[in-house]
Amino acid sequence: MRTLAALLMVMMALVIPAQAQDDAAPWQAVVSGQIAALHEQDAAAALAFASEGFRTQFAEQPEAFLVAVEASGYGPIIRSRSHSFGSFERVSDTVVAQVVKFVGPDQSLYDALYQLGEEPGEGWRVLGVALRKAPGIGI
């Protein structure tokens, strides 16, 4: 009986993280999509992943969005070699904080905290990003 209970607990421990990852997939896809668009210098696509406020502000000049992103210190994201997802926290039903780890163009490590909001009719969109250099070197 104890063996069965232990086996059940192990199975639940394996299933629960998988479900949590599935829950995160929609906003993580948005983050990855925006990063890919930034890498390709596709201003319109990168802006499409941003929140309504950014889309409204830069609607007439999507290229200005890329200039603003670069000028705000997000070059390590634009030119990153890779990214991976860390922990996330649902702040509310429509807001999530997602940690994203980057290897920069010079192998430096960076941690970013993405805040994403679920917009009616649009899905998840990037509300803002806080970026900081982390100790270490990426491979």
pTM of the model as a whole: 0.81
Give residue 131's identity as a one-letter amino acid code: L
Low-confidence ranges of the chain (pLDDT < 50): 1-22
Name 133's bridge partners.
Answer: 110
Average pLDDT over the chain, rounded to an integer: 87
Show Cβ contacts of residue 66 under 8 Å, excluding neighbours closer than 6 positions.
Answer: 38, 41, 43, 46, 78
Q: Which CATH number fits domain 2-137: 3.10.450.50, 3.40.50.1100, 3.30.565.10, 3.40.50.300?
A: 3.10.450.50
6-46 pLDDT, tens digit per residue, is 333 333 333 334 344 447 889 999 999 999 999 999 999 99
Cβ burial, residue 106 (10 Å; 0-12/13-18/19+): exposed
Quick check: 105 and 79 in contact, CB under 8 A? yes
